[in-house]
Amino acid sequence: MVASVKIPPLIVLAGGLGTRLRSVVADKPKILAPIGQHPYLYHLITWAQRQGIEEMHFCLGYKANQVIDWLKACSLDMSFSWQVEQQQLGTGGALVEALKHPMLAQRESVLVCNGDTFVDFSVAEFIAQARTHSAILTTSVVDAGRYGRILKDSTDQLVEFLEKDSQAGPGEINAGWYHFSGDNLASLRNSQITSLEKDFLMASSPQPLICVCIGQSFLDFGTPESYQAAQTLFKDAL
């Protein structure tokens, strides 16, 4: 049982071009890819509601107007804001721009997630385990080589992201969720970065992130194969 924790706003990184998925979803951004009767965005928002998240900010790019129109018409009980990239900023650049938004500019902590992956976990437990630290959500998978493993030390501090390796076998991977606070959040606000992983987490973050391995049912649906797998997963997970 997790004691009551304050859930910060969630920043969703959804500005990618989605080129790998266009053979099956050619006319929509990835976050609007249909999964069952609804787009993935609907599933993400309803899951976030159940986790106690009340505010979501979207970093948009490719076909952003479709996402904005969907959010404006959405009747779900959630506060939305967004920004549109005029050029590709990368995950790091998009996050830095998001932190300038009035909804986020004065926050002491934020959650961040990739818009093309799903993982089931307790957000309250994630924040509780992170305590006052910044943290990265991880999950154990059978085929870590497909994603690239994470390396952590004996105190669960993130040490390194290892490259993708077809021979890697089972391992712990980045599940695509982060909690930023304190010095790391302050540093991000003043950063000039492109890749969140390479340019900040592995290069310039003032404090190491804590790895919290509680993710389940992880799925990256950025490829045609994993997109088809998502159709089955969401029948069980959501």
Domain CATH for 36: 3.90.550.10
Q: Which two tokens stand for residue 56?
A: 């979501």
Establish if 5 belongs to a structural domain: no
* DSSP of 127-195: HHHHTTS-EEEEEEES-GGGT-BEEE-TT-BEEEEPPP-TT--SEEEEEEEEEEEHHHHHHHHT---S-
Establish if 31 belongs to a structural domain: yes
Enter the pTM of the model.
0.93
Establish if 125 belongs to a structural domain: yes
Residue 203 burial (CB count, 10 A): 11
Establish if 2 belongs to a structural domain: no
Q: pLDDT value at position 2? A: 62
Establish if 4 belongs to a structural domain: no
Establish if 201 belongs to a structural domain: yes
Domain membership of residue 56 as a residue range? 10-237
Total domains in the chain come to 1
Establish if 3 belongs to a structural domain: no
Establish if 227 belongs to a structural domain: yes
Question: Nearest Cα to 13, choosing from 26, 24, 1, 29?
Answer: 29
Residue 204: is it exposed, middle or buried by C-beta count within 10 angstroms (0-12/13-18/19+)? middle
Chain segment 81-137, per-residue pLDDT in tens: 999 998 889 999 999 999 999 999 999 999 999 998 889 999 999 999 988 789 999
Chain segment 38-88, per-residue pLDDT in tens: 999 999 999 999 999 999 999 999 899 999 999 999 999 999 999 999 888
Mean pLDDT of 208-214: 94
